[in-house]
């Protein structure tokens, strides 16, 4: 028994150590964020222990009177925020939402077009990911490396030639809006469904920035809810499509890919959507402003930042080619040792075999923006990264500078209520 207690307490201590590490680090992972105190509170409620299979007011379990009301509110908030005709907050992750979309829109053997992995595409749309496991025939759009986006003219011809059943857009390296409007004639010509994976840019879309997929030609949007949308690790599906297609998508969510849908996370998502209706525009504006400023500063410091032809980025994300400084693996690990947290990333010229040692580093500004960093701090971050990666200074001095910079930003912004970041589980001993 003593060992069991020790192991439980060790896990708790590791969680506390993790919190302290991030409290003293600069978080630049493009796929992460932190929640507001009100949203965080939802994760600690009894919702987290209950089941609610099915749709609101048509459940397979009793005891869902309050859950149904929360889900109704969350659906309504999502429709208002994204100006969507349909919304389903039941997917428990972005990849789960993607898997449901694959099941609903494509059968084994059907052709689905998607961005290539080396052009920022997501692994769920890869031949070895959810699409491949579904037996879907994945074909990749032509990619324009200079502009870090799909090549419009070549993609029009590609769609006309390949005649995919589904055209999927959306990336993990999502620097610039997808030119959906320019492709609409090609979509209509081949009669395909248009699916937009907005996981990375969902908060920017919510804030009226980046692009508006449902007005530009997309039938559905899928996404995770914890990147630029600063909510729980959960998923969502949004629609502006015919009723038959939407019912098929909902069946693919339940019972197709989930049973229960993590009710505490759904409640946290609802709170986040309400906060985005209030603060989302200002938050999205600052995220993009910071990303542009950081890209400029990193370029001035000597890094090759991609997308320069178009101003480096129009999102929260920027990517650097660090082959001249040891490669992506070296740079990411050296930055981590100095308490600057980013990730190594494939660049368009990398093949998939290089995934563990690619050419690039991916950086996102959504989390540092959430705790109040602005353009002046972007200059400081760029200088610290250059000290680590280019000048290869010892980490301890960088750690001290990172700690001082982080200590000056002790409150989560763009939300209801106030709380110090990274302090969620500091409960009484």
What digits encode the pLDDT tens for the residues 342-364? 999 999 888 766 788 999 999 99
Partnered with residue 114 across adjacent β-strands are: 140
Q: Are 269 and 232 in contact (CB under 8 A)?
A: yes
Q: β-strands 340-341, 26-27: how paired?
A: parallel
Q: Look-up: residue for tokens 């939402």?
A: 97
What is the reported pLDDT for 429?
A: 39
| C-alpha to C-alpha distance for 323 and 360, rounded to whole angstroms | 7
Instruction: Answer whether residue 251 is part of any domain.
Output: yes
Q: Are 159 and 131 in contact (CB under 8 A)?
A: no
Which CATH number fits the domain that encloses residue 253? 3.40.640.10
Q: Residue 106 sits in which domain range? A: 40-273
Give the relative orientation of helices 263-300 and 375-389 as an angle to the nearest 10 degrees.
Answer: 70
Instruction: Answer whether residue 255 is part of any domain.
Output: yes
| C-alpha to C-alpha distance for 241 and 85, rounded to whole angstroms | 8
| C-alpha to C-alpha distance for 196 and 191, rounded to whole angstroms | 16
Supply the Cα-derived Rg of the chain in whole angstroms.
Answer: 22
Structure tokens at 90: 């039941």
More confident residue, 131 or 377: 377
Per-residue pLDDT tens digits for 28-58: 999 999 999 999 999 999 999 999 999 999 9
| C-alpha to C-alpha distance for 325 and 390, rounded to whole angstroms | 6
Instruction: Answer whether residue 288 is part of any domain.
Output: no
Run of H or E residues at 166: strand 166-169
Q: Which of 122-126, 284-288, 425-429 bottoms out in mean pLDDT, i.e. has the lowest?
A: 425-429
Instruction: Answer whether residue 198 is part of any domain.
Output: yes
Instruction: Answer whether residue 406 is part of any domain.
Output: no
Q: Are 26 and 421 in contact (CB under 8 A)?
A: no
Instruction: Answer whether residue 59 is part of any domain.
Output: yes
pLDDT band at 122 (very low <50, low <70, confident <90, very high): confident
Q: Is 75 left (phi over 0), alpha (psi -120 to 50) or beta?
A: alpha
What DSSP assignment string belongs to 108-158? TT-EEEE--GGGT--GGGSTTSHHHHHT-EEEE--EETTTTEE-HHHHHHH
Residue (of 370, 377, 376, 385) closest to 422 by Cα position: 370
Instruction: Answer whether residue 97 is part of any domain.
Output: yes
Which phi and psi (to 5°) does residue 399 adopt?
-55, -45
Instruction: Answer whether residue 324 is part of any domain.
Output: no
What is the reported pLDDT for 418?
A: 73
Residue (of 319, 290, 293, 292) closest to 304 by Cα position: 319
What is the reported pLDDT for 351?
A: 78
> Which residues does 105 contact at the CB level (< 8 Å), separation at least 6?
112, 165, 166, 193, 195, 245, 248, 249
- Range 360-384 average pLDDT: 97
Number of folded domains that form the chain: 1
- Range 223-235 average pLDDT: 98
pLDDT band at 426 (very low <50, low <70, confident <90, very high): very low
DSSP state of 304: E
Which phi and psi (to 5°) does residue 37 adopt?
-60, -40
Per-residue pLDDT tens digits for 129-187: 777 778 899 999 999 999 999 999 999 999 999 999 999 999 989 999 999 999 999 99
């Amino acid at each position: 028994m003593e060992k069991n207690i020790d192991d439980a307490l060790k896990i708790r201590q590791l969680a506390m150590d993790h919190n302290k590490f991030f409290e003293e680090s600069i978080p630049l992972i493009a796929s992460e964020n932190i929640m507001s105190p009100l949203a965080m509170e939802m994760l600690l409620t009894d919702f987290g222990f209950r089941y609610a299979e099915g749709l609101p007011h048509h459940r397979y379990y009793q005891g869902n009177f309050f859950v149904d009301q929360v889900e109704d509110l969350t659906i309504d908030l999502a429709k208002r925020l994204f100006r969507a005709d349909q919304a389903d907050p039941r997917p428990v992750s972005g990849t789960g939402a993607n898997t449901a979309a694959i099941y609903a829109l494509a059968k084994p053997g059907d052709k689905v077009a998607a961005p290539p992995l080396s052009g920022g595409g997501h692994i769920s749309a890869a031949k070895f990911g959810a699409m491949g496991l579904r037996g879907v025939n994945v074909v990749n759009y032509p990619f324009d490396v200079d502009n870090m986006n799909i090549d419009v003219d070549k993609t029009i011809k590609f769609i006309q030639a390949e005649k995919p059943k589904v055209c999927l857009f959306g990336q993990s390296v999502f620097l610039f809006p997808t030119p959906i409007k320019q492709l609409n004639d090609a979509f209509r010509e081949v009669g395909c469904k248009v699916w937009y994976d907005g996981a990375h840019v969902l908060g920017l879309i919510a804030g009226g920035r980046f692009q508006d997929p449902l007005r530009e030609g997309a039938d559905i949007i899928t996404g995770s809810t914890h990147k630029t949308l600063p909510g729980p690790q959960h998923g969502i599906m949004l629609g502006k499509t015919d009723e038959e297609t939407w019912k098929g998508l909902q069946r693919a969510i339940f019972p197709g890919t989930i049973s229960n849908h993590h009710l505490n996370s759904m409640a946290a998502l609802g709170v986040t959507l309400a906060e985005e209706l209030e603060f989302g525009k200002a938050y999205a504006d600052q995220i993009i402003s910071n990303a542009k400023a950081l890209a400029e500063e990193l370029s001035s410091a000597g890094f090759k930042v991609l997308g320069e032809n178009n101003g480096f980025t129009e999102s929260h994300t920027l990517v650097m080619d660090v082959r001249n400084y040891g490669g992506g693996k070296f740079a990411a690990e050296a930055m981590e040792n100095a308490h600057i947290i980013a990730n190594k990333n494939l660049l368009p010229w990398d093949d998939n075999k290089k995934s563990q040692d690619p050419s690039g580093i991916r950086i996102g500004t959504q989390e540092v923006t959430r705790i109040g960093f602005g353009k002046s701090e972007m200059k400081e971050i760029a200088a610290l990264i250059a000290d680590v990666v280019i000048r290869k200074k010892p980490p301890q001095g960088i750690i001290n500078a990172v700690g001082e910079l982080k200590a000056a930003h002790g409150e989560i912004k763009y939300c209801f209520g106030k709380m110090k970041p990274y302090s969620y589980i500091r409960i009484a001993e």
